Amino acid sequence: MPEHTDLTVLLRSLRGVWDEVAVDELDHALQSAARALDDGADDELVLAAALHDIAHSPLLPAGPAHDVLARDWLTPRYGERVGWLAGAHVAAKRYLAATCADYRLSATSEHSLRLQGGAAVDPAFVNHPWWPDALRLRRYDDAAKQPGAAAVSVAEVLALARRVHTARESGRGRAP
Ligand SMILES: [Fe+2]
């Protein structure tokens, strides 16, 4: 199916892309999904965790903010919830930085937080019905920066994407 061929190519294009210092973007994606599975997340949340930084692929346009591009790329393919959750990972970081005294970020995320406007509680974020899951995703994201940590495989992400796609086709995707 072409959608999944696209996803395979995009995921593999993250190998050797270094946004963080400790892991490349493919390992970051695969570790994020593993942390979500460890937490008992549902398929859509695991998929959003895996693909929240897909916009760092050199195959996607460089212009838009990476959270916005993730949302816009994912929503038509895997549904509104996957797109929203992935797109909310910056708003979730800003929220946690504003409200959790013990919230710690990597040096890279600390730097990007400043560029993204700093710590803040966005009313549009905290009033959204899915925002608790966006906070869960952000915790997976922050934990997925350890060289050699447990990770899922690319094949597992693709199988997950197929399940989400199939559930959506059959009308079982979640409404907001
Ligand atoms: Fe990330």
Residue 162 CA to ligand 1 centre (angstroms):
22
- Identify residues whose C-beta is under 5 A from ligand 1, the ion: 53, 141
Residue 175 has what pLDDT? 58
Residue 170 CA to ligand 1 centre (angstroms):
30
| Distant-in-sequence, close-in-space partners of 68: CB < 8 Å, separation ≥ 6 | 87
In a domain, 75, yes or no: yes
In a domain, 105, yes or no: yes
Residue 46 CA to ligand 1 centre (angstroms):
13
pLDDT, one tens digit per residue, over 132-166 is 999 999 999 999 999 999 999 999 999 999 999 99
Domain count, the chain: 1
Three-state secondary structure readout of the chain: CHHHHHHHHHHHCCCCCCCCCCCCHHHHHHHHHHHHHHCCCCHHHHHHHHHCCHHHCCCCCCCCCHHHHHHHHHHHHHCHHHHHHHHCHHHHHHHHHHHCCCCCCCHHHHHHHHHCCCCCCCHHHHCCCCHHHHHHHHHHHHHCCCCCCCCCCHHHHHHHHHHHHHHHHCCCCCCC
Residue 36 CA to ligand 1 centre (angstroms):
13
Residue 163 CA to ligand 1 centre (angstroms):
23
Residue 5 CA to ligand 1 centre (angstroms):
23
Residue 28 CA to ligand 1 centre (angstroms):
7
In a domain, 84, yes or no: yes
Q: Containing domain of residue 18, as a range?
A: 2-169
CA distances from 117 to 15, 129, 139 (A): 29, 23, 20
Q: What is the CATH number of the domain that holds 38?
A: 1.10.3210.10
In a domain, 175, yes or no: no
Residue 143 CA to ligand 1 centre (angstroms):
9
Residue 67 CA to ligand 1 centre (angstroms):
10
In a domain, 97, yes or no: yes
Q: Place 173 in a pLDDT band, splitting at 50, 70 and 90.
A: low
Residue 171 has what pLDDT? 79
Residue 141 CA to ligand 1 centre (angstroms):
5
pLDDT, one tens digit per residue, over 15-28 is 999 988 899 999 99
Residue 76 CA to ligand 1 centre (angstroms):
21
In a domain, 174, yes or no: no
Using an 8 Å Cβ cutoff, are 55 and 66 in contact? yes
The residue behind tokens 């995009």 is 10
Tokens of 23: 């892991």
Residue 174 has what pLDDT? 59
Q: Place 1 in a pLDDT band, splitting at 50, 70 and 90.
A: very low
Number of Cβ within a 10 Å radius of residue 83: 21
pLDDT, one tens digit per residue, over 86-135 is 999 999 999 999 999 999 999 999 999 999 999 999 999 999 999 999 99
Q: For the chain, what is the radius of gyration of the CA atoms?
A: 15
